[in-house]
Structure 1
Amino acid sequence: MKRKLVVAVGIAAVASLALAACSGDSTPEESTGPVTLTLSGWSLDTTPEFQVLADGFEAATGNKIELKEYDAAEYNTLLTADLSAGAGPDIITQKEVKYVPVLVDSDQLVDVSDVKIPDGVSGASSYEVDGAQYAVPYRQDSWVLFYNKALFDEAGVDYPDGSWTWDDFDAAAKALTTADHFGVYEHRWQSTTQGFANAQWDGDIFSGDYDYMSELYERRIAREDAGYEMDFAESSANSPSYQGEFGKQNAAMLPMGSWFVATLISQQASGEADDFEWGIAPIPQRDSSTIDNPVTFGDPTGFGINAAIDDAKLEAAKEFLAYSMSEDAASALASIGITPSNTSEAVAAAYFAVDGAPSDDLSKFTWSTHDTYPENPTSAQTAEVQTVLGTMHNEILTRAKTVDQAIKDAAAAFGAL
């Protein structure tokens, strides 16, 4: 799943993108358009990627996209209700990978194995179920380390150089902590600890053996106890946003998904975040063996097609899926700070040309070079297992149980599923 810099198909050829049939070399007939398709999304005022793709697709093909907005927090619940009522959109944005098998089992997604996935597009395997492709990725976020260069300078701490292990991270958190700010802020999500353990320790959440997560939990508890980061219980009680903690310089470092780049640029431009120089670095590694190709985690975001779509719209919908992975769609997304699934050289240039984006070589390396493992492996069990692991996460960080006891209890809960 390494992110490679490659050249993909351009916008001028989008209307004739090959949709190689899984049963042979034949190509389905294209729509005779124009066709109007509906597409699900969320927070449309602050999430411009949907309109950017809609506009680009219309310019390329003449077909139109109407956006159907859902509440971001209740997206999957509301979408499922619409699908059950026969009122779902033609194209379904896959907000969370773990729900893909549920939609497949409910016969609500079209098999799109005949949509060609360009070389260098990351995250496609997350949408495979029993050997068939049920969605394609248009973006692929990966977790990186955001750092405040001004606070590093104040503390006399060297910037990350791409070689950090978790020992280096712990040392920096200590050195950067002052009476005014923490060395690091880690958000409340279980993925902030478990995602890195799964990726770097080759963890298997379906094994029932979670001992491999203990090291990162012990490190986090030690940092909290030493006062280098906000205590989980305090964070849970006060619910600070990670955007505010980093943007208002309450913490010098922030492990977070690459989606935060666009948000931080926007918030600094509007004044919602302070004006300071920042960069992104590879997330700390388990050891030096992966420094040249850092290991991290992150799920893609993708598009699938509603199985109830009008037959007359099906080929246009497949054209949209193909367009969403093209170099031109990716460049359009990159120009607003979104990390697309296709990261060609042209796309990278568009991404770092955004006003307010970091321009240093390490930030560019971090964005383009890494192995990204899925946060949510595609399985019908994923949602249940993540619930078990969420309970374990809370028990450990609220100190309700020791790390060892919480892990043991999670294994027992997994066995009872």
Structure 2
Amino acid sequence: MTFTPTRRSLLAAAAVAAPVAALSACGGGGGDARNADGKIELTMAGWSIDSTPEFTVLKEGFEAVNSDVVVVIKEYSADDYETQLTTDLSAESAPDVFPVKNLQPYHYLMSNGALADVSSLAESLSGDGNINLEHLTVDDGVFALPYRQDSWVIYYNKELFDAAGVSHPDGTWTWDDYAEAAQQLTEGLAGTDTPAKGTYHHTWKSVVQGFALAQTEGAELSSGDLGFFAPYYERALAMQDAGFTETFSTAQSQSLAYQAQFGTQKAAMTLMGSWYIATLLAQRESGDADVFDWGLAPVPQLDSSTVENPVTFGDPTSLAINAALTGEKLEAAQSFLEYVVSEECSQALAGIGIAPSYFSDAVVETIFGLEGMPEDEGSKAAFQNNDTRPENPVGEFTNDIQTILEDTHSEILTGSTPVDEALTAVEEQLANEGLVG
């Protein structure tokens, strides 16, 4: 099956993959569904298999309850996943099922026919309050089901806070409180045996733009008015210029990893998604991270009005079916999607520290029962009590807009373009390309 993108979708494809003339959904169809052992064989995309155990957990859990199916994982580059996947879709060599990492390419893939419609599967979940399909619904259709739902939180090193004489975050922080704590930590640790930056801001645009979009009332990517980003960028610039966090240029040029900055105590805190929990626990065990007392706290808020239900962001990570599948392979793929949204799968994912899409009290207890997890109630509350909004609200031009904003992020934080000038330029570009309402 071959699908021809629109002009604007091709602009989006340039961000997700090398430009292609068409997207083709393919992955075995139904003709060669069974392997030499007589089992239905499904291929599934994944990345960083050795350090990302969720794919093996999904595979083994599904195979345990579906003995007639074997899942073969096809590994992609974590940093280049979307590009490689879209190239394979164009070459008709894509896997049978594949994760959609976040919502940014979702509309593009759906509108070009690469994703099978799974609305009938979604309908059976519509009354289940443990799972949220709102952000995957487009024109009353659903084209992937979520297996993970991450939210951004503060990770903080309790021992470094104590060494600097700084009070632990109490769940009421605004951004001003956060910046003040970063200053106190940096200055308080400077003369100790454990000097560290107050915080670490990774190079992703999410670290600035995700919060601005989620927390600013009325903010919309497609509105044509991007001024809501300005105060968040001004604060980020001020913090890096003052030395409370590594500069964007240093983090980029030295390829700094957020895992190492926090895990080896180079920073007393960091803003990051809940997926980092599983990595931190694994690295503590392997020796790639130090063992220290740590905790979770809600992300800073725009003002005190939302501290009772902190506003943060995080896209679901979903699993989609290649639209070319038919016959036994399609049926097996549908069963796989039913499994990944089940309570059984949620417990398996929680058992390795992953926040599953099927969220319940049992999931929270499982995650916080893992060795190395914080034991304080504040950490547990930060993990489960928040208002998580999408980083990439699904829309026809979301992918195009986010692609352009990637360059804007770099221009601002390297100091090459002043904040207001950079935002005005991108507003004009979006208007010229017809990407705003």
Aligned ranges for residues 245-394 of structure 1 at < 5 Å?
245-394=261-410
Aligned ranges for residues 54-93 of structure 1 at < 5 Å?
54-62=59-67, 63-93=69-99
Decide which of 140, 150, 155 is 1:131's aligned counterpart. Answer: 140
Provide the rounded CA distance (Å) in 2 between the counterparts of 1:310 and 1:356: 45
Counterpart residue type for residue 52 of structure 1: V
Provide the rounded CA distance (Å) in 2 between the counterparts of 1:296 and 1:325: 23
Determine helix, strand or coil for the equivalent of 1:251: coil
Aligned ranges for residues 214-253 of structure 1 at < 5 Å?
214-253=230-269
Q: Which runs of 5+ in 2 are unaligned?
A: 1-32
Counterpart residue type for residue 45 of structure 1: D
Q: Is the 1:123–1:140 contact (alpha carbons within 8 Å) kept by the matching residues of 2? A: no
**Residues paired across the two proteins, number:** 386
Provide the rounded CA distance (Å) in 1 between the counterparts of 2:199 and 2:171: 17
Q: Cα deviations across residues 136-185 of structure 1 (Å, max 9, x unaligned)?
A: 10001111000000000001111111111111101101110033211111
Q: Is the 1:123–1:299 contact (alpha carbons within 8 Å) kept by the matching residues of 2? A: no
1:403 aligned residue: 419
Q: Is the 2:130–2:360 contact (alpha carbons within 8 Å) kept by the matching residues of 1? A: no
Q: Which runs of 5+ in 1 are unaligned?
A: 1-30
Counterpart residue type for residue 186 of structure 1: H
| TM-score, normalised by the number of residues in structure 1 | 0.89
Provide the rounded CA distance (Å) in 1 between the counterparts of 2:92 and 2:404: 32
Aligned ranges for residues 43-58 of structure 1 at < 5 Å?
43-58=48-63
Counterpart residue type for residue 321 of structure 2: I
Provide the rounded CA distance (Å) in 2 between the counterparts of 1:304 and 1:262: 23
Provide the rounded CA distance (Å) in 2 between the counterparts of 1:80 and 1:220: 33
* Residue 150, structure 1, aligned to residue 165, structure 2: no
Provide the rounded CA distance (Å) in 1 between the counterparts of 2:90 and 2:177: 50
* Residue 38, structure 1, aligned to residue 43, structure 2: yes
| TM-score, normalised by the number of residues in structure 2 | 0.85
Q: Cα deviations across residues 285-324 of structure 1 (Å, max 9, x unaligned)?
A: 1112211211101111111111111322222221211111
Provide the rounded CA distance (Å) in 1 between the counterparts of 2:408 and 2:82: 24
Q: Is the 1:39–1:89 contact (alpha carbons within 8 Å) kept by the matching residues of 2? A: yes
Decide which of 92, 100, 106 is 1:100's aligned counterpart. Answer: 106
1:184 aligned residue: 199
1:164 aligned residue: 173
Q: What is the aligned-residue identity percentage? A: 48
Determine helix, strand or coil for the equivalent of 1:372: strand
Q: Is the 1:145–1:282 contact (alpha carbons within 8 Å) kept by the matching residues of 2? A: yes
Provide the rounded CA distance (Å) in 1 between the counterparts of 2:77 and 2:303: 41
* Residue 175, structure 1, aligned to residue 191, structure 2: no
RMSD: 1.7
Q: Is the 1:52–1:333 contact (alpha carbons within 8 Å) kept by the matching residues of 2? A: yes
Q: Cα deviations across residues 57-77 of structure 1 (Å, max 9, x unaligned)?
A: 122232332212222222222
Provide the rounded CA distance (Å) in 2 between the counterparts of 1:106 and 1:341: 26
How far apart are 1:104 and its partner, in Å? Answer: 1.7
Counterpart residue type for residue 383 of structure 2: W
Q: Given the superposition, is the C-alpha separation of residues 224 and 78 from structure 1 closer, same or farther in structure 2, using an over 3 Å criterion? A: closer
Provide the rounded CA distance (Å) in 1 between the counterparts of 2:302 and 2:184: 21
